[in-house]
């Protein structure tokens, strides 16, 4: 699959790049995409939720009333969950939500996500660029030239580009990542995938057979 390379002005450079079909042209596996996205979101959860159960409540341990002869149910503590201010029954406790996923499944999911973008013509190839300093207005101008400012977009660099990354932090819907940070969830969430030209070889080396 061949795509034209454009510059940051949105004009064609006359060059084309070839996207490897083993990475950008496979038959997408929806279940692998689901599993990898699910793992990403599960690993992102803090899992610090906690409510006070009976043992965590501060209160007297004195028996409220005598055991027998009252005509009502027996109660042994003011911390009983039935009473107002008592402990919660089976409340949430801190836990880890992450789970293991095989490397081959994760790789299949990411290639499937990239193939979906290529199949739907949602990939733009831009020649390498950099800024002399972090300038949000400059990156906004680039986004306007590429017609990606009105949608969720992902710009992929081969390695960390500090100035471009800092320029993107105040732009809503525009995210800058490296090829190593690329995962199924962010690929599928983005409406348009903008690949810097030098990042393609890294993606081929990472996900290629």
Q: What total of structural domains would you count in the chain?
A: 2
Indicate the residue among 37, 65, 96 that finishes a domain: 96
Give the C-alpha separation, 204 to 206, whole Å.
6
If you average pLDDT over residues 48-68, what whole number do you get?
Answer: 90
Give the pLDDT score at 1: 81
Considering the domain architecture, whether residues 133 and 39 belong to the same structural domain is answered as yes
136 shares its domain with 182: yes
Instruction: Verify that 61 and 159 share a domain, yes or no.
Output: no
Q: Render the burial of 23-43: b for 16+ CB within 10 Å, e for the rest.
A: bbebeebeebbebbbebbeee
Q: What is the CATH number of the domain that holds 103?
A: 3.40.1370.10
CA dist., res. 125 & res. 132, Å (int): 22
In angstroms, rounded to a whole number, what is the distance separating the alpha carbons of residues 196 and 180? 14
Q: State the chain's mean pLDDT as an integer.
A: 91
Do 167 and 148 fall within a single domain?
yes
Task: Say whether pLDDT at 39 is over 90.
Answer: yes
- Are 178 and 136 found together in one domain? yes
Range of the domain at 153: 2-45+97-207
| Residues 26 and 124 both lie in one domain | yes
Token duo for residue 163: 């100035």
* Model pLDDT for residues 122-141, shown as the tens digit of each residue: 999 999 999 989 999 999 99
pTM exceeds 0.85 for this model: no
Span 157-168, pLDDT tens digits: 999 989 999 999
- Residue 105 binned pLDDT confidence (cut-offs 50, 70, 90): very high
If asked whether residues 36 and 113 sit together in one domain, one would say yes
Examine the fold and report which residue of 36, 67, 96 is the final residue of a domain before the chain moves on: 96
Note every long-range contact of 118-123, with CB atoms under 8 Å and residues 24 or more positions apart, other chains counting. 118/1, 118/19, 118/24, 118/25, 119/28, 122/190, 122/191, 122/192, 122/193, 123/3, 123/19, 123/24, 123/192, 123/193, 123/194, 123/195
């Amino acid at each position: 699959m061949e795509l034209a390379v454009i510059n940051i002005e949105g004009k064609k450079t006359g060059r084309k790049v070839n996207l490897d079909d083993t990475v950008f042209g496979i038959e997408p596996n929806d279940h692998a995409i689901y599993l990898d996205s699910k793992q990403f979101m599960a690993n992102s959860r803090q899992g610090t939720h906690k409510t006070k159960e009976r043992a965590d409540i501060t209160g007297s341990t004195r028996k409220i009333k005598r055991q027998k002869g009252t005509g009502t149910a027996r109660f042994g503590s003011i911390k009983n969950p039935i009473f107002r201010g008592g402990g919660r029954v089976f409340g949430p406790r801190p836990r880890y939500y992450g789970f293991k996923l095989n490397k081959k499944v994760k790789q299949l999911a990411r290639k499937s996500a990239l193939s979906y973008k290529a199949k739907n013509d949602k990939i733009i190839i831009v020649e390498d660029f950099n800024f002399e300093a972090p300038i949000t207005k400059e990156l906004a101008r680039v986004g306007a030239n590429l017609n990606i400012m009105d949608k969720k977009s992902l710009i992929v660099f081969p390695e960390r580009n500090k100035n471009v990354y800092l320029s993107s932090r105040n732009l809503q819907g525009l995210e800058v990542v490296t090829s190593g940070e690329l995962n199924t969830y962010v690929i599928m969430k983005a409406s348009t995938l903008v690949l810097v030209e030098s990042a393609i070889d890294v993606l081929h080396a990472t996900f290629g057979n």
